[in-house]
Amino acid sequence: MQLASLVLNLGNQSSFSKLLILLVLSCMLSSIHLAEADSVLDQTTQSKTVEEKLVDPKEEIRTIDWIDLLPTDINRKALMEHYADLIIQRLDPPDDLSLQEQIITELKQAPVNPSLAGVKLRLAGYMIVLDEFEGKITEFLLVPYSGAGVHQPAPPANQMLLVRLNPEQALATAQMYESVWVEGRLKIQPDETSIARVAYRLEDAQVRLYTMEDARQAEAREAKLEHEDAATHAHEE
């Protein structure tokens, strides 16, 4: 189902479902644009100190977007649209239970990008806390939209990372609903969690909060890319 069809079908949904669907579409089809900020302009000395800890000068760290987690030998945009369609179907489940089982199976078996195995990378997203100790988050899922797998259907397995933190990097549980940057070496390893099946893992990861400045940079970069695309199309015409 194409994006235009998905948007037109919103007219048949409740107001609450519309909000959820629009959120899923904006997050997945645009890959939430959180990771489009390749560099961060920190506003406080504290955030600058954390940023310096995240960067290992001995090894290049690749900043990726969620769509980069998909295989490279397919039409990634079309696959993202397909996943969005499946999630919408899970928001308003059909009476056919076998169809729901097929959708869940497909999401669990979502293909990975093998070229990212062992790569040290940085990715932005939202936390779904799995484990905590003494008020500190020690393990969570990194997901592309808020509430995935809890208040909303979980995304496909290739759009979730199981993140295990170094003790000194653990965030307070009061920050569990914040968006974050995570950094670490990616491992392709399926894991069954209490929320959903996950295709990727980051161990000994480092994390920091995603700031408003990050968001402004991402928006500016997106606007620049859109302007460049429009200019290219105009030149081709």
d(CA 32, CA 223): 14
pLDDT at residue 50, as a whole number: 40
pLDDT at residue 217, as a whole number: 84
- pLDDT per residue as tens digits for the range 75-121: 999 999 999 999 888 887 667 788 888 999 999 999 999 999 999 99
- pLDDT per residue as tens digits for the range 181-230: 999 999 999 999 999 999 999 987 899 888 888 888 878 877 887 887 77
d(CA 103, CA 178): 29
What DSSP element (H or E) covers 227?
A: helix 212-236
Residue 231 pLDDT level (bands cut at 50, 70, 90): confident
Across the strands, what pairs with 180? 125, 209
Region of poorest pLDDT, from 13-27, 94-108, 133-147: 13-27
In degrees and rounded to multiples of 5, residue 145 shows phi and psi of: -145, 150
In degrees and rounded to multiples of 5, residue 12 shows phi and psi of: -95, 5
Query: Would the pLDDT of 31 be above 70?
Result: no
Instruction: Record the tokens describing residue 218, joined without a space.
Output: 């991402």
Query: Would the pLDDT of 70 be above 60?
Result: yes
**Stated length of the chain:** 237
Query: Mean pLDDT for the chain?
Result: 77
Instruction: Record the tokens describing residue 159, joined without a space.
Output: 């759009």
> Which pTM value belongs to this model?
0.71
Please give the domain boundaries of the chain with CATH numbers for all domains. Answer: 3-236 (2.40.50.870)
**Helix/strand/coil (H, E, C) string of 7-42?**
HHHHHHCCHHHHHHHHHHHHHHCCCCCHHHCCCCCC
Residue 173 pLDDT level (bands cut at 50, 70, 90): confident
What DSSP element (H or E) covers 205?
A: strand 197-209
